[in-house]
Amino acid sequence: MTSILKVDTIQDTDGNNIINENSNTITIGASGDTTNIIGTLQNDGAAVGGNLKPAFSAYRASTQTISDATWTKVQFDTEVLDSDGTYDNSTNYRFTPASTGYYLINANVSLMTSAGANLMLDNYIQIYENGAEAAVSQNYGNSSSKDSWGQHNLSCIIHSDNASDYYEIFAYADISSGSVEVAGNATKQFSSFNAFKLIL
């Protein structure tokens, strides 16, 4: 036997609306109420909510020396967070999310000359996707400048459409002489790399 209860409002013992339907809009509870949902809240069959995973954050714990005027991968070797084991901080220094979707990817890299008297000329960092340039931050220098540092902050949203996609950070700096260093520190994040999946 099937029973059907037809109402447009359900009230508590004090006469306050608990559930109300009006013009195809259902309101549950009232201002000031606490609504507890036991079970899974769904939107047309799909669970509501989620988390920003996979996610990771890593940084350089010490200075990394790179060659002058040469694109070089930055080796972020110390993890702060790696929710799903998707960042390699010891061999390839890359993020392989293994889950398709949109990701916010961030890189902060401090480049400096090996001696303060050397001049920092053109310098860049790039986010690489599968070994190809995907986003760039650039600073242009000249021989009359006195800068020995190049500071880069790069953020972008990238769509991963293949579970094998991977992401890396490369740096380049042309200096007047000597070598280039990526700033690193064991207790302060001078140079860092992080990403997380967006919930849409």
pLDDT digits (tens, 9 = 90+) for 21-73: 888 888 887 777 887 878 777 776 666 667 899 999 999 999 999 999 999 99
Q: Could you tell me if residue 10 is inside a domain?
A: no
Contact of 126 with 136, CB cutoff 8 Å: yes
Flag whether 40 is in a domain.
Answer: no
Residue 50, domain member (yes or no): no
Per mean pLDDT, which range of 2-16, 30-44, 169-183 is the poorest? 30-44
- Look at residue 109 in the predicted model and tell me its pLDDT: 98
pLDDT of 116-160, one tens digit each?
657 888 999 999 999 999 999 999 876 555 568 889 999 999 999
List C-alpha distances in Å: 149 to 64, 109, 133: 14, 11, 23
Peptide bond just before 97 cis, omega within 30 deg = no
Task: Please tell me which of 3-7, 19-23, 115-119, 159-163 the model is most confident about, judged by mean pLDDT.
Answer: 159-163
Q: How many CB atoms lie within 10 A of CB 120?
A: 21
Q: CATH number of the domain at 127, please.
A: 2.60.120.40
Q: 124 in a domain, yes or no?
A: yes
